[in-house]
Chains A and B, each alone.
Chain A
């Protein structure tokens, strides 16, 4: 009669775990289920949270006792025959040696996607291509300086969190990576952490995506707390702007991409990915647009969510640095929101009280969530007021300024 705990190894490994790991595994299973629930309810971004939550629950439930051969490949050390090593059949993110990696590629079902698409930033670039296809740079071209100013103000968290994170004991690469959460751009955080803080890219990216899911629910409270109702109801004057042709948008994409790649070669994959999406959209290549904006964007988002969830193993999350990352991430996003609203207030005073300061929050580049949040909060108080064109301009500029700051951080800190 076999031991029941050997038969049901998920339960067996749970019973045999260290109490800390046991608590973390149960906590993460509950959190994963909660993320699926909140995603379904629309409180958090469902496209990301549903695969992420289920992945998180599954990876912490599906822990088994690895056979000695697989265990030695995963741990990259010799394992005694009777030693019991816990592991999963999802993926082994820490395997480095080529032979071990080749072995794991044949064992773990998500290992090929992790190795060939996630850990080299390809999936982040795919998401960026999709964002590029969705962006209408016409909103930026209609009022470039105003939009860029708001976007810069909304980078307060990206800049101010950096010294705070170093003060908290992180090195400069890790500090820059967690500070990038303030840019509210998931692919950018993934890219920065892969480049500057590979050892913590899993918790940093998980923290970033968790918080990006929260902006939709959290920023309305920030707006209502910092902008009085009277100012939220300011009606934007319709300004007459020259129509912007697709030729102008295409030329901007080509010149902007080339120039930014020339300035920051380390971030060139991101710039190319963003602007190739814009170029495809403005060139009228409908089939490519459908491919990038459909299967590539949604396929990448799905696997990004699933892999992030599967990466949330108890051992990874129990790292004491994660607490710091959680606090610094929320600080960065909060400061960026406040910075955006300060930018909105500056525009309000410069325009003699004719500018709705709520537009400032859209400078936080979570496309298009923050622009939609700004419009929704304003429409709740004054249903006839439309700020979406200005908000989308600031929102798209936010993507550009975040990419620029990412390029500067990566370049500067790699030089050190």
Chain B
């Protein structure tokens, strides 16, 4: 417990980690919640992954299209020659 709290920069007390955090614009408690995960950051992480996956597969699709088109064009050029 002590190590878990120390890593988070908090103080162990009655089985939880207590400590102050800057007040946020959303009016969250000044005491850091021991709850994990924080849904906002999980949502951000999921958004990053979803966007990353979509763009990565779009790049993969682009790679495939380019390969096919170039291969086709080169085959046509060979046939003409």
Contacts and interface: CB of A to CB of B under 8 A. Distances in A.
A260 B63 CA distance: 13
A144 B61 CA distance: 8
B44 A167 contact: no
A162 B44 contact: yes
Given A162-B45, A162-B48, A167-B8, A145 B53 contact: no
A192 B52 CA distance: 16
Given A159-B48, A412-B47, A400 B56 contact: yes
Given A148-B59, A247-B70, A168 B7 contact: yes
B41 A166 contact: yes
A144 B63 contact: yes
Given A167-B36, A412-B48, A172 B41 contact: yes
Contacts of B56: 148, 151-152, 397, 400-401, 404
A166 B7 CA distance: 12
Interface in B1-21: 6-10, 21
B62 interface: yes
B57 A145 contact: yes
Given A151-B56, A162-B48, A408-B52, A252 B41 contact: no
A402 B40 CA distance: 22
Given A151-B56, A401-B52, A248 B70 contact: yes
Given A159-B48, A168-B7, A320-B9, A256 B59 contact: yes
Contacts of B62: 252, 255-256, 259
Interface residues of B, number: 35
Q: Which of B21, B42, B49 has the most CB of A within 10 A?
A: B49
Interface in B36-81: 36-38, 41-42, 44-49, 51-53, 55-57, 59-64, 66-67, 70-71, 74
A79 B16 CA distance: 44
A102 interface: no
Contacts of B70: 245, 247-248, 251
Q: Which of A155, A159, A252 has the most CB of B within 10 A?
A: A159
B12 to A, nearest CB: 14
A245 B38 contact: no
Interface residues on A, range: 35 or more
A30 interface: no
A141 B10 CA distance: 49
Contacts, number: 118
A144 B48 contact: no
Contacts of A164: 36-37
B27 to A, nearest CB: 17
Nearest to B47: A412
Contacts of B38: 163, 166-167
Given A163-B38, A405-B52, A255 B66 contact: yes
A179 B60 CA distance: 24
Q: Which of B36, B42, B66 has the most CB of A within 10 A?
A: B66
B31 to A, nearest CB: 13
B42 to A, nearest CB: 5
B66 to A, nearest CB: 5
A175 interface: yes
Contacts of B41: 162-163, 166-167, 172, 175
> Which 4 A/B pairs are nearest by Cβ-Cβ distance?
A248-B70, A144-B60, A163-B41, A148-B60
Interface of A: 140-141, 144-145, 147-148, 151-152, 155, 159-160, 162-164, 166-169, 172, 175, 242, 244-245, 247-248, 251-252, 255-256, 259-260, 263, 320, 323-324, 327, 397, 400-401, 404-405, 408-409, 412
10 contacts: A145-B60, A152-B52, A155-B49, A163-B37, A167-B38, A255-B66, A256-B59, A260-B55, A323-B7, A400-B59
Interface of B: 6-10, 21, 32, 36-38, 41-42, 44-49, 51-53, 55-57, 59-64, 66-67, 70-71, 74
Given A248-B71, A401-B52, 14 more contacts: A152-B52, A159-B46, A159-B48, A162-B45, A162-B48, A163-B36, A163-B37, A168-B8, A172-B41, A252-B62, A252-B67, A259-B62, A324-B7, A324-B9
